[in-house]
Amino acid sequence: MINADDLLEPRKVYDRQLKAMHHKNAEEYFDNLAKKSGIKIEENKQTVKKLKIINEENKKQKNKKGKLVVLKTFLIIVIVLIFLGMVIDIVEAINATEKIWIYILVAIALLAGAVGLIILLSKNISKKIKKCNEKIQKLDKEASDLLQQAYMQMNPLNALFEWNICSQLVTKTCPLIELDQYFEPQKYEYLHECFGFSEDEADNISTVFVQSGSILGNPFLFQKRYLQKMVPKTYTGSIVIHWTTSYSSNGKRYTQSHSQTLTASISRPAPVYFLDTWLIYGNDAAPNLNFSRKPSNANNMTPKQINKYVKSQEGKLNKLVEKDIGDQDGNGSAFTRLSNTRFESLFHALNRNNEVEFRLLFTPLAQKNMLNLIENKEPYGDDFTFIKNKKINYIRTEHIQKADIIGDPSKFVHYDYEFARYNFIKQNDEYFKNIFFDFAPLISIPLYQQHKPKEYIYKNDYPSNITKFEHETLANAFNREKFKHPESSTDAILKAKCAVKNGDSDLVTIEAHSFKAVSRVEEVSVMGGDGLLHLVPVQYYEYLPLTQVTSMVAKYDSDNSQNDIKGDIIKQRGLLAFLNKNR
Banded pLDDT at 451 (limits 50, 70, 90)? confident
Provide the whole-model pTM: 0.85
| 511-534 pLDDT, tens digit each | 999 999 999 999 999 999 999 999
Query: How far is Cα 401 from Cα 45, in angstroms, rounded to an integer?
Result: 36
Query: How far is Cα 291 from Cα 390, in angstroms, rounded to an integer?
Result: 9
pLDDT at residue 327, rounded to an integer: 47
As a whole number, mean pLDDT of residues 433-450 equals: 93
pLDDT at residue 328, rounded to an integer: 44
DSSP H stretches of helix in 96-161? 100-120, 126-158
- The SS3 of residue 244 is strand
pLDDT at residue 326, rounded to an integer: 46
pLDDT at residue 422, rounded to an integer: 97
Query: How far is Cα 283 from Cα 220, in angstroms, rounded to an integer?
Result: 9
| 270-316 pLDDT, tens digit each | 999 999 999 999 999 999 999 999 999 888 889 899 999 999 888 88
Q: Pick the residue with more confidence: 26 or 562?
A: 26
Query: How far is Cα 340 from Cα 317, in angstroms, rounded to an integer?
Result: 11
Banded pLDDT at 188 (limits 50, 70, 90)? very high
pLDDT at residue 45, rounded to an integer: 96
Average pLDDT, the chain: 89
Banded pLDDT at 221 (limits 50, 70, 90)? very high
The strand order across the sheet containing 564-566 reads 493-502, 505-527, 533-556, 575-579, 569-572, 564-566
pLDDT at residue 1, rounded to an integer: 64
pLDDT at residue 294, rounded to an integer: 96
pLDDT at residue 273, rounded to an integer: 97
| 130-145 pLDDT, tens digit each | 888 889 899 999 999 9
Name the range with the highest mean pLDDT among 61-65, 466-470, 564-568: 466-470
| 99-119 pLDDT, tens digit each | 676 766 766 777 776 777 777
The rounded Cα 164 to chain-centroid distance in angstroms is 20
- Number of helices and strands in the chain (H, E): 15, 13
pLDDT at residue 3, rounded to an integer: 66
Domain boundaries, the chain: 41-158, 170-230+272-450, 468-579
| 370-403 pLDDT, tens digit each | 999 999 888 999 999 999 999 999 999 999 999 9
CB 168 within 8 A of CB 180: no
pLDDT at residue 69, rounded to an integer: 82
Q: Pick the residue with more confidence: 351 or 97?
A: 351
| 245-256 pLDDT, tens digit each | 988 888 888 889
**Type of residue at 114:** A
Banded pLDDT at 565 (limits 50, 70, 90)? low
pLDDT at residue 516, rounded to an integer: 97
pLDDT at residue 219, rounded to an integer: 95
Query: How far is Cα 396 from Cα 279, in angstroms, rounded to an integer?
Result: 6
- Answer whether residue 417 shows pLDDT above 80: yes
